[in-house]
Amino acid sequence: LSRLPLQVLTVPTAPYPDQRPGTSGLRKKVYVFQSRRNYLHNFIQSIFSSIDLRDRQGSTMVVGGDGRFFNPAAIEVIVQMAAANGVGRMIIGHHGILSTPAISCLIRKYKAIGGIVPTASHNPGGPDGDFGIKFNTANGGPAKEAVTSKIFQISRTIEEFAICPGLRVDLTTLGKQMFDLENKFKPFTVEIVDSVESYANLLRNIFDFAALKELLSGKNHIKIRIDAMHGVAGPYVRRIMCEELGCPVNSAINCVPLEDFGGQHPDPNPMYATDLVDSMKDGQYDFGAAFDGDGDRNMILGKRGFFVTPSDSVAVIADNIFCIPYFQHTGVRGFARSMPTSAALDRVAKATKIELYETPTGWKFFGNLMDAGMLSLCGEESFGTGGDHIREKDGLWAVLAWLSILATRKQSVEDILKDHWLKYGRNYFTRYDYENVDIDAACEMMEDLEIMISDKSFVKQRFAVEDKIYQVEKADNFEYTDPVDSTISRNQGLRIIFSDGSRIIYRLSGTGSDGATVRIYIDSYEKEQIFEDTQVMLAPLATIALKISQLHHRTGRSGPSLIT
């Protein structure tokens, strides 16, 4: 225990107008947090002030980030401010590191009032990269709209923050540290916990580790390649996949978390996970997977780099859900996907007579359904998949789910997927990202597009490209009424749905740190032609999507920054 009680200060400050959290917290360039006076402090105080003082007093909170640049400095400020704001106990990952799924696990395990996560997920790191702060609530999931709106309102009028500047925590030593604060009856406790153990234990109770160990290191084991992309997933991969399930250590690459992710973009898709994609090409590995910066996203590859779209991934897991022992015990309560995700999951839900929910983008919508006992498995096209064991998407969980299917079915990834398409037909899916577009041009384009598709004459319009004709059946701005609490989320993306079920979706995204990102999603179902090239099959719809929106002309772009 520190000898003299530590001083608690109230520091005057001035508000910033731009601290509105997006779908995954507040994300900005690192220099914004570093150079703007009290920028971090203001936002952290706004989080604490959004929680009722009676709930805060003596409560437990969890903190840990993805190890990116500015992570240790931010954690120090968060802990100093938590102590000054009446929090009684902080659970912190060793070295300040926790994956986003592990944070969710720990919040639930310790019955914490929430968690503060220093992360910018799949965005680049380092001094010139991005930094972010995300707030998760007591269910372990991302804060809902009502909470993030409250945080934003407080940040716009903030006049002071509370801090205990003399409080210094040693993040390198496991165990309890206690601090006496002036005018506080009880000491403030910091507990540095093993970053992996609680989460690993959760997974042991979900999957058949003996069967997975046999698959990965038994007599007829498969060869796998796992890329942690120098993000937070590295220690989890080493401990769970290598030490516990017997994968050779050299099958796990880029497993040391680096504050700049080795200069790479820690986003698990074919464009950025090039180390993995290249190493899979020659066919020596049967299965490949990559994770993002904070460990909640995943990409699945089969032999020779056979790519599984996230939309197909969740559909295959749904169709094989009882390969996972957890679901044999709990049963299956429902499936869900975000609206832009392909309708592949819908076909499994229909065949298995399990309820399907179509939600806006953002894991918090899934969390609400899970809390109400209505949802077991869900996924997003943006490389997020998860179950109801926590309230975040979970990269490692998705990989173990796939390996459980391989262990049960004793087939390759490609054969499993091709069997799935033969059984259900195939949803061809692609997404075009136009990044760092001028925000005014993007907003004007979306406004004009909405006016155009909302006109009654737009429905029944026909678009011909080559020998294909598409007729508009429905067009709207997606609106979601939550079946649990009836809250309505409007303006969630412009949808054009054609009579054959094909869809074009336009969204402005909220997870970047500068400029706007315009996303176009294209989803088209085929019953017969199921083994064709995705971009070839979707080319007519892509032409229509660009023609309707005039996106290249309106944004000055000649093509997308990224195609997935």
Distances (CA, A) of 417 to 103, 154, 320: 32, 49, 11
SS3 498: strand
Q: Which of 272, 271, 232 is nearest to 254 (CA)?
A: 232
Residue 458 token pair: 């737009």
99 is an active site residue: no
Q: How far apart are CA 72 and CA 47, in angstroms?
A: 19
* Residue of 24, 46, 99, 121 with catalytic role: 121
SS3 384: strand
Apex 313 CA angle, 310 and 318, nearest 5: 135
**In sequence order, what are the residues at sequence separation of 6 or more whose Cβ sits closer than 8 angstroms to the Cβ of residue 266?**
122, 123, 124, 125, 229, 230, 231, 272, 292, 293
Sheet with strand 175-179: strands edge to edge: 26-29, 130-137, 114-118, 60-65, 89-97, 188-193, 175-179
Q: Which of 151, 180, 176 is nearest to 90 (CA)?
A: 176
Q: Considering Cα of 81, then 82, then 86, then 90, what sign does the dihedral take?
A: negative
DSSP 101-157: HHHHHHHHHTT-SEEEEE--TTS--STTSEEEEEEEETTSSBPPHHHHHHHHHHHHH
**In sequence order, what are the residues at sequence separation of 6 or more whose Cβ sits closer than 8 angstroms to the Cβ of residue 108?**
139, 140, 390, 391
Q: How far is CA 522 from the centre of its chain?
A: 21
Residue 381 token pair: 């096209």
SS (H, E, C) 165-218: CCCCCCCCCCEEEEECECCCCCCEEEEEECCCHHHHHHHHCCCCHHHHHHHHHC
DSSP 423-458: HH-EEEEEEEEEEEE-HHHHHHHHHHHHHHHHSGGG
**Site of tokens 């001094």:** 127
SS3 466: coil
**Site of tokens 């315009």:** 518
Class of residue 160 by CB neighbours under 10 A (exposed 0-12, middle 13-18, buried 19+): middle
CA dihedral of residues 496, 499, 503, 505 (deg, nearest 10): 0
Catalytic residue positions, numbered: 121
